[in-house]
Amino acid sequence: MFSKSAFVGFALLTVATSSVLGASSTDDQQSATTLNPAVIATGFAQDGQQDPTEGQVPSLTSTNNFINFCLTVNKPITNGKQVQAGSCNPAPMGVIAARTNMPSSKFVFPKNNDTIPANQAFTIKMAINHLESGNFVNAATNYFSAPQQVNSGGDIVGHSHVVVDFLDSLDQTKPTTPGTFAFFKGLNAPADNGILTADVDKGLPAGAYRLASINSAANHQPVLVAVAQHGSLDDMVYFTVE
């Protein structure tokens, strides 16, 4: 858990130090090593239990935006890397997309319950809405390393991915293993008339499959939106190969 006294002390120090930063430009603030009081989220000091719902757990709290959270866990800093054993990421979440700009995707091909020929090349086609696609950073050096951004219209700046998972059968109820999949592709090009595509050059062997999208911001983090209650931001279909 956090040491509240440590957080408060550090917050007071950084607020005092940053009092001279108020007149600085936004660019200057991105190179500052202290917390500007203008961006302190005071709500983070509340654990949410003032009017608790049955079963609700208290939130972690902070008076300095959790800027030193990674000191509280025994994990390496993510630092733009895909650390397979797990890590702690200090990057802020960034700009949260408005309710009216939540992205959504829908597969055009293959559709749910389609059957396609085995071991024959095909092209996955997916319609996308409210995502400024075609924006992806170097996943080897900048993974999760910057906040989510939106464009002038409020749409998330990012890209998508498609992943095809093996299934035992279409009515399988056992959870899949995310580390094992039949096909994965980052959709790095901008959408063409609202459609993103991925070529499966070698096709797939006969069997049952699940196809899903992973809509992401530019730094590969899952998209973040303004409300908790919303329809799925991704699509998923089931198909067979014969």
- Tell me the per-residue pLDDT of 204-215, one tens digit each, with 9 for 90 and over: 999 999 999 999
> Which alpha helices (H) appear in the chain, and where do they start and end?
4-17, 26-29
pLDDT exceeds 70 at position 225: yes
Q: Is residue 134 part of a domain?
A: yes
Q: Is residue 103 part of a domain?
A: yes
**Same domain as 116, residue 26:** no
**Same domain as 120, residue 30:** no
Report, as an integer, the average pLDDT of 89-96.
98
Q: Tell me the average pLDDT of the chain.
A: 92
Q: Is residue 148 part of a domain?
A: yes
Q: Which of 53, 72, 91 is the last residue of a domain?
A: 72
- The parent domain of residue 172 ranges over 99-241
Percentage of the chain modeled with pLDDT above 70: 90
d(CA 182, CA 103): 25
Report, as an integer, the average pLDDT of 67-79.
98
d(CA 3, CA 94): 25
Task: Kindly compute the dihedral angle of the four CA atoms of residues 22, 15, 97, 210, in this order, to the nearest 10 degrees.
Answer: 140
Angle at 183 between CA 185 and CA 205, to 5 degrees: 145
pLDDT exceeds 70 at position 22: no
**Same domain as 107, residue 63:** no
Q: Which pLDDT belongs to residue 235?
A: 98
**Same domain as 148, residue 103:** yes
**Same domain as 103, residue 61:** no
**Same domain as 108, residue 46:** no
Q: Which of 55, 72, 89 is the last residue of a domain?
A: 72
Q: Which pLDDT belongs to residue 27?
A: 77
Angle at 115 between CA 212 and CA 175, to 5 degrees: 40
**Same domain as 228, residue 117:** yes
Report, as an integer, the average pLDDT of 146-157.
98
Q: Count structural domains, the chain.
A: 2
Q: Which pLDDT belongs to residue 24?
A: 55
pLDDT exceeds 90 at position 6: no
**Same domain as 173, residue 228:** yes
Q: Which pLDDT belongs to residue 98?
A: 98
User: Residue 198 belongs to a domain with what CATH number?
Assistant: 2.60.40.10
**Same domain as 176, residue 111:** yes
**Same domain as 231, residue 126:** yes
| Location of structure tokens 């989510």 | 148
Eight-class DSSP state of 123: E
**Same domain as 232, residue 146:** yes
Report, as an integer, the average pLDDT of 129-137.
98
